[in-house]
């Protein structure tokens, strides 16, 4: 009882928990607004944040801005799509055969740590400096996330479930769709979510380094043109894109996998 | 698991043999290659020997690795310290989570122009960008590790009146170590990637600079040798890190195993 009234008294003096994130965001915004104005940060490199945000709002009405966003999203979607279309089936095939898995594991473990950006020069040589290079790099990098997650998922199937299905005379195909896939789906979903972030990163990288059209190149152009407000506005845009994509994936995952134990933990509590 | 012995051996043999076969296949198929972009493997290997053993080690490899590890270690120190602080205080974690989520969501290369503008094109820009990117996986893992500390352990430490500093050092840090290592492993591969990108965008030396420059001057075998070097480095760092992790976390595995049996 005393403990309760004690915490009650304390929370009245402090900010309520729900307000904390807002306060922190406001604090950060105020910092980046005031520091350049007062002169703590050099204002020629750090325009006050309100200038960058109003530039961003202005950009929302420009067609060039939306073209750049569209080009980046196209690279992201194609890269992720190719990675998923190759990674998931290959992961299932390799993961469900023990010998095949052992045979491929060495190869995968050797190829996976290769930094995909090392292939940028090769991509330029073969695909030029356009969309194809971007998609190739994004697909290559996110492919490993998808296939490794799928492999883990397929390997983690409860052997009792597989054996039960087998002893009930389920065919191979039926076992795949009734036992293996449902139990591997959460892994695949996580793999796809990470692959989505990787695909976006590689798309922007390709735009920056190779100069393929899109947000990355626009950021670089804004910098070399001395348009700091625009540069910051575009960097904010990439952050917002990343955040939105991640949110969409988490939402879809929750909705599609609501039946899965890993998503119904709170019901048991 | 319960494989019969012969099958297990076949598996192990396959694991070693398949990459070797792939390599030999590449060598054989490319041996008479007339394609300009895909020179024979033997040419690439000769170039590799001439370039990287050890002609350009001092001028390109050492500066690259120094930048990479400087950024990585700064990130480890900052992220573990911040992660312990945020993990220990629920209110601080709540307050900073939107900012952390946003900064983490920015594709790291998008920050390169910003870093060039503010810091310039020198080494400190590259170290900054590497450190900035490596912070997030370690930070989030540290927070997860600290919040996942067994409440009994926490309460026990509290009821024994152990000072907060000691609790952090003796209870939270050890409990979070496995997670911290998982984050560090992710960050190490990120460090290598950002090292390459930052050198490709603005540099006068380094492996990333060398690879892109070779492509621009159509020195194709040199370009391939650089790509192979980066692949070997990625593989090597990952392997060495796993070894270190196994060693450092031996007590953890031991504790887990004895608890499970």
Lowest mean pLDDT among B76-80, B114-118, B252-256: B252-256
B149 Cβ under 8 Å from any chain A Cβ:
no
Task: Tell me what pLDDT residue A11 has.
Answer: 45
3-state secondary structure of A214: coil
Structure tokens at A227: 């348009």
With bands split at pLDDT 50, 70 and 90, how would you rate the model's confidence at A4? Answer: very low
DSSP letter for A238, please: H
List the single best residue of A102, A145, A217, A222 to mutate versus B (max B Cβ within 10 A): A102
List the single best residue of A19, A202, A205 to mutate versus B (max B Cβ within 10 A): A205
B139 Cβ under 8 Å from any chain A Cβ:
no
With bands split at pLDDT 50, 70 and 90, how would you rate the model's confidence at B3? Answer: low
pLDDT tens per residue across span B174-201: 888 988 998 999 899 889 999 999 999 8
Task: Tell me what pLDDT residue A5 has.
Answer: 42
Task: Give the whole-angstrom CA distance, residue B142 versus residue B182.
Answer: 9
Tell me whether 0.85 is exceeded by the ipTM: no
For the residues A224-237, what does the mean pLDDT come to? 91
Task: Tell me what pLDDT residue A266 has.
Answer: 52
pLDDT tens per residue across span A152-208: 888 888 888 888 988 998 888 888 888 888 888 888 998 999 999 999 999 999 999
Task: Tell me what pLDDT residue B187 has.
Answer: 92
Task: Give the whole-angstrom CA distance, residue A72 versus residue A155.
Answer: 35
Report CA-CA distances (Å) from A5 to A2, A14, A141, B61. 5, 14, 55, 63
pLDDT tens per residue across span B83-92: 998 888 888 8
DSSP letter for B32, please: T
Task: Tell me what pLDDT residue B125 has.
Answer: 93
Is the Cβ pair A118, B7 closer than 8 Å?
no
Report CA-CA distances (Å) from A218 to A102, A172, B91. 45, 51, 38
Question: What dihedral angle (degrees, nearest 10) is formed by the CA atoms of B113, B116, B119, B123?
Answer: 130
List the single best residue of A113, A158, A212 to mutate versus B (max B Cβ within 10 A): A113
Task: Tell me what pLDDT residue A51 has.
Answer: 87
Quote the crossing angle between the two packed helices B173-201 and B207-216, to the nearest 10°: 30
Task: Tell me what pLDDT residue A1 has.
Answer: 37
For the residues B99-112, what does the mean pLDDT come to? 89
Q: How many CB pairs under 8 A join A and B?
A: 164
pLDDT tens per residue across span A36-94: 888 777 777 888 888 889 999 999 989 999 999 999 999 999 999 999 999 999 999 99
The whole-chain average pLDDT of chain B stands at 87
For the residues B211-229, what does the mean pLDDT come to? 89
With bands split at pLDDT 50, 70 and 90, how would you rate the model's confidence at B258? Answer: low
Task: Tell me what pLDDT residue A206 has.
Answer: 93
Residue of B nearest to A123 (CA): B215
Statement: residue B17 has pLDDT above 90: no
In whole angstroms, how large is the CA radius of gyration of chain A? 24
Of B4 and A55, the one with more pLDDT:
A55
Contacts with A, B 99-118, CB within 8 Å: 99, 101-114, 116-118
With bands split at pLDDT 50, 70 and 90, how would you rate the model's confidence at B256? Answer: low
For the residues B90-97, what does the mean pLDDT come to? 86
Share of chain B above pLDDT 90, in %: 26
DSSP string, B68-121: HHHHHHHHHHHHHHHHHHHHH-HHHHHHHHHHHHHHHHS-GGGGHHHHHHHH-S
Is the Cβ pair A223, B113 closer than 8 Å?
yes
What's the gap in Å between the CA of B177 and the closest CA on chain A? 23
Residues of A in contact with B187 (CB under 8 A): none
Is the Cβ pair B227, A118 closer than 8 Å?
yes
Statement: residue A241 has pLDDT above 80: yes
pTM beyond 0.90: no
Is the Cβ pair B227, A17 closer than 8 Å?
no
Task: Tell me what pLDDT residue A72 has.
Answer: 95
For the residues B223-248, what does the mean pLDDT come to? 90
Is the Cβ pair B7, A246 closer than 8 Å?
no
Of B3 and B237, the one with more pLDDT:
B237
Task: Give the whole-angstrom CA distance, residue A179 versus residue B105.
Answer: 35
Task: Tell me what pLDDT residue A269 has.
Answer: 38
pLDDT tens per residue across span A111-156: 887 788 888 998 998 898 889 999 999 999 999 999 999 998 888 8
Share of chain B above pLDDT 70, in %: 93
Is the Cβ pair B201, A208 closer than 8 Å?
yes
């Amino acid at each position: 009882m005393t403990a309760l009234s004690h915490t009650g008294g304390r929370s009245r003096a402090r900010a309520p928990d729900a307000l904390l994130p807002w306060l922190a965001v406001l604090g950060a915004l105020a910092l980046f607004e005031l520091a350049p104005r007062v002169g703590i940060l050099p204002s020629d490199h750090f325009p006050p944040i309100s200038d960058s945000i109003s530039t961003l709002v202005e950009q929302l009405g420009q067609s060039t801005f939306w073209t750049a966003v569209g080009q980046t999203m196209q690279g992201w979607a194609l890269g992720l799509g190719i990675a998923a279309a190759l990674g998931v089936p290959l992961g299932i095939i390799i993961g469900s055969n023990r010998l095949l898995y052992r045979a491929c594991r060495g190869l995968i473990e050797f190829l996976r740590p290769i930094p995909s950006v090392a292939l940028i020069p090769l991509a330029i040589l073969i695909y030029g400096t356009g969309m194809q290079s971007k998609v190739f790099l994004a697909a290559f990098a996110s492919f490993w996330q998808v296939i490794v997650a799928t492999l883990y998922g397929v390997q983690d199937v409860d052997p009792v479930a597989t054996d039960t299905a087998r002893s009930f005379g389920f065919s191979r195909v039926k076992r795949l769709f009734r036992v293996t896939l449902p139990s591997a789906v959460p892994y695949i979903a996580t793999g796809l979510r990470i692959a989505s972030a990787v695909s976006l990163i590689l798309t922007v990288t390709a735009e920056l380094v190779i100069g393929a059209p899109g947000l990355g190149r626009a950021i670089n152009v804004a910098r070399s043109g001395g348009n700091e407000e625009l540069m910051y506005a575009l960097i904010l845009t990439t952050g917002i894109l990343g955040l939105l994509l991640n949110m969409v994936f988490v939402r879809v995952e929750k909705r599609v996998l609501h039946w899965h134990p890993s998503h119904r933990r709170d019901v048991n509590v | 698991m319960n494989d019969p012995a012969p099958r297990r051996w076949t598996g192990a043999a396959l694991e070693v043999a398949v990459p070797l076969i792939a390599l030999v296949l590449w060598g054989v198929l490319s041996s008479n290659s007339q394609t300009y972009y895909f020179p024979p493997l033997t040419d690439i290997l000769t170039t590799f020997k001439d370039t990287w053993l050890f002609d350009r080690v001092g001028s390109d490899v050492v500066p690259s690795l120094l930048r990479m590890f400087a950024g990585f270690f700064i990130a480890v120190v900052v992220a573990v310290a911040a992660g312990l602080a945020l993990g220990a205080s629920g209110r601080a974690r709540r307050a900073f989570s939107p900012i952390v989520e946003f900064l983490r969501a920015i594709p790291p290369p998008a920050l390169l122009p910003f870093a060039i503008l503010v810091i310039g094109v020198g080494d400190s820009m590259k170290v900054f960008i590497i450190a900035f990117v490596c912070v997030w996986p370690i930070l989030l893992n540290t927070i997860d590790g600290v919040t996942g500390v067994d409440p009994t352990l926490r309460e026990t430490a509290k009821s024994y009146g152990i000072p907060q500093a000691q609790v952090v050092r003796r209870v939270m840090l050890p409990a979070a170590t496995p997670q911290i290592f998982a984050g560090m492993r992710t960050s190490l591969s990120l460090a290598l990637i950002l090292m390459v990108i930052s050198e490709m965008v603005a540099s006068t030396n380094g492996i990333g600079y060398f690879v892109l420059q070779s492509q621009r001057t159509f020195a194709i075998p040199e370009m391939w040798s650089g790509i192979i070097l980066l692949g070997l480095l990625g593989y090597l760092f990952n392997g060495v890190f796993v070894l270190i992790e196994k060693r450092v976390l031996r007590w953890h595995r031991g504790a887990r195993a004895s608890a499970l049996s």
